[in-house]
Amino acid sequence: MTTSSDPGLAPGTVITGKWKRGSYVIQRLLGRGANGTVYLVRDAGQGRQYALKLGKDAIDLQSEINVLTTLQTQGKQAAFRTNGVPSYLFEVDDFRLKDKDVPFYVMKYVKGEPLHLFIARNGMRWYGVAGLAVLNRLAELHESDWVFGDLKPQNIMVASLGETELIDYGGVTKRGSSVKQFTEWYDRGYWNAGGRSADPQYDLFSFALLTIHILEGDALKAAAAKLPQLRSISELTGIIARSRALRPYAGWLVSALRGEHKNTRRAALAWSHLAESGGGKDTGRKHKSRWLGYAFTASLVMLAGAIWMALR
Ligand SMILES: Nc1ncnc2c1ncn2[C@@H]1O[C@H](COP(=O)(O)OP(=O)(O)OP(=O)(O)O)[C@@H](O)[C@H]1O
């Protein structure tokens, strides 16, 4: 994500679509990225809240919109359709700003905070359940031949009771093409561990790296600072072997680094067993542990439902 001193549009500004005439009142800035600025808005008609992304570049935003439209119309992913109705991308239009047409799209507002901040505040115990939700989402994408690409903590939002969702589908790539957007630390190429061709193992590698980052950040930082030719799978497996926090997930992580998981659904199932048996124990807040149990059960029910659907 890039930062900017541009304050963006002020709360209260009304964005009205040039073609469809939908009106959205800006409530606050949610964040800025390479492709645009995202605001929390309220629909001026129904009063519902959405996230609205105002693009910098029509072409970059259009490719993001194309991916979202395809994901939504293919209809397999629970993240994009609820009871057959599109539930992520709601409107695409242009906004006339300072004599220029600026493209925007309106999407579901995902409440929560980025994964790394959530874990820092609530404790490592929550990593198991949040990780399972991420793997379930990735499995849905992979089963439709898409690869997420730019998996990083900032693109994973976790709400207070552990509900976890992916945001920023700008890096989603069709299986077999080159990954179009990535972040160095989570990139297989950066660690000399394989190419940047989009395949499910690419996302699982990124997931392993983000796990190491969140649970063993200092060691990853030190390894990433080494000379490029020294970055390797064995450097990463060394971190895993020495880490107490990563121990519950060690075998799973090494398989992900080596591209050995058979498929993402099975990888999610294997992860769920590890998380259930106490992965990432810490002294985290006790009063939250009941909610953690509920969240974990809900993730398992989702996983079981997905397996049942796949086998039907
Ligand atoms: N649907 C959403 N709900 C809530 N917040 C969101 C949503 N989409 C984006 N955000 C916030 O806006 C920020 C920037 O959005 P996004 O990551 O989509 O932009 P980008 O240009 O693709 O960024 P990047 O440079 O990281 O690829 C996110 O980090 C997040 O904080």
Structural domain ending residue among the three candidates 68, 92, 108: 108
Which residue lies with its CA nearest to atom 13 of ligand 1? 31
pLDDT in tens, 123-167: 999 999 999 999 999 999 999 999 999 999 999 999 988 899 999
User: Dihedral angle at the C-alpha atoms of 228, 229, 230, 232, nearest 10 degrees?
Assistant: 90
pLDDT in tens, 15-47: 999 999 999 999 999 999 888 999 999 999 888
Which of 167, 241, 179, 249 lies closest to 208, judged by CA?
249
Is 187 marked active-site? no
Res 96: pLDDT: 92
Res 2: pLDDT: 40
Within 13 Å, how many C-alpha atoms sit on residue 204's CB side? 26
Binding residues for ATP: 53
- Ligand 1 centroid vs 155 CA: distance in angstroms? 7
Which is the catalytic residue, given 57, 94, 145, 150? 150
CATH assignment at residue 42: 3.30.200.20
Specify whether 242 is located in the same domain as 215: yes
Binding residues: 53
Does residue 100 form part of some domain?
yes
- Ligand 1 centroid vs 248 CA: distance in angstroms? 31
Specify whether 84 is located in the same domain as 208: no
Within 13 Å, how many C-alpha atoms sit on residue 101's CB side? 9
Specify whether 54 is located in the same domain as 180: no
Torsional sign, CA 249, 175, 65, 6: positive
Which residue did the predictor score with more confidence, 312 or 260? 260
Does residue 1 form part of some domain?
no
Q: The domain containing residue 139 runs over which residues?
A: 113-311
For residue 41, the cross-strand partners are 26, 50
Compute the residue count for the chain: 312
CB of residue 109 inside a 6 A radius of ligand 1: yes
Structural domain ending residue among the three candidates 108, 130, 149: 108
In this prediction, residue 86 has a pLDDT band, given cuts at 50, 70 and 90, of confident
- Asked whether residue 284 carries a pLDDT value surpassing 70, the answer given is no
Does residue 4 form part of some domain?
no
In this prediction, residue 290 has a pLDDT band, given cuts at 50, 70 and 90, of low
ipTM given for this complex: 0.94
The amino acid sitting at 251 is: G
- Ligand 1 centroid vs 163 CA: distance in angstroms? 18
Which residue lies with its CA nearest to atom 17 of ligand 1? 168
In whole angstroms, how far apart are CA 26 and each of 8, 39, 95, 252?
A: 11, 6, 13, 43
Specify whether 197 is located in the same domain as 298: yes
Does residue 94 form part of some domain?
yes
Does residue 203 form part of some domain?
yes
- Asked whether residue 282 carries a pLDDT value surpassing 60, the answer given is no
Q: How far, in Å, CA of 8 to CA of 104, rounded?
A: 14
Res 286: pLDDT: 45
Q: How far, in Å, CA of 163 to CA of 166, rounded?
A: 11
pLDDT in tens, 95-129: 998 888 999 999 999 999 999 999 999 999 999 99
Specify whether 94 is located in the same domain as 124: no
Number of folded domains that form the chain: 2
CATH assignment at residue 243: 1.10.510.10
> 0.80 cut: is pTM over it?
yes
Specify whether 233 is located in the same domain as 202: yes
For the chain, the average pLDDT equals: 88
Does residue 9 form part of some domain?
no
CB of residue 165 inside a 6 A radius of ligand 1: no
Pocket test for ligand 1, best of 3, 28, 30, 151 (most atoms within 8 A of CB): 30
- Asked whether residue 293 carries a pLDDT value surpassing 80, the answer given is no
- Ligand 1 centroid vs 101 CA: distance in angstroms? 21
Specify whether 138 is located in the same domain as 233: yes
Specify whether 241 is located in the same domain as 185: yes
User: Does residue 28 come out as left (phi exceeding 0), alpha (psi in the -120 to 50 range) or beta?
Assistant: beta
Which residue did the predictor score with more confidence, 260 or 2? 260
Res 305: pLDDT: 65
Specify whether 273 is located in the same domain as 152: yes
For residue 91, the cross-strand partners are 106
CB atoms within 10 A of CB 157: 22
CB of residue 126 inside a 6 A radius of ligand 1: no
CB of residue 259 inside a 6 A radius of ligand 1: no
Specify whether 117 is located in the same domain as 166: yes
Specify whether 97 is located in the same domain as 224: no
What percentage of the chain has pLDDT greater than the value 70? 85
Instruction: State the closest ligand 1 atom to the C-alpha of 152, by its place in the atom list counted from 1.
Output: 26
pLDDT in tens, 212-269: 999 999 999 999 999 999 999 999 999 999 999 999 999 999 999 999 999 999 999 9
Does residue 170 form part of some domain?
yes
- Ligand 1 centroid vs 181 CA: distance in angstroms? 14
Which of 48, 64, 54, 46 lies closest to 13, judged by CA?
54
Structural domain ending residue among the three candidates 77, 108, 139: 108
Does residue 3 form part of some domain?
no
CB of residue 38 inside a 6 A radius of ligand 1: yes
For 204, the enclosing helix (H) or strand (E) is helix 200-215
Res 285: pLDDT: 45
Instruction: State the closest ligand 1 atom to the C-alpha of 168, by its place in the atom list counted from 1.
Output: 18
Specify whether 122 is located in the same domain as 60: no
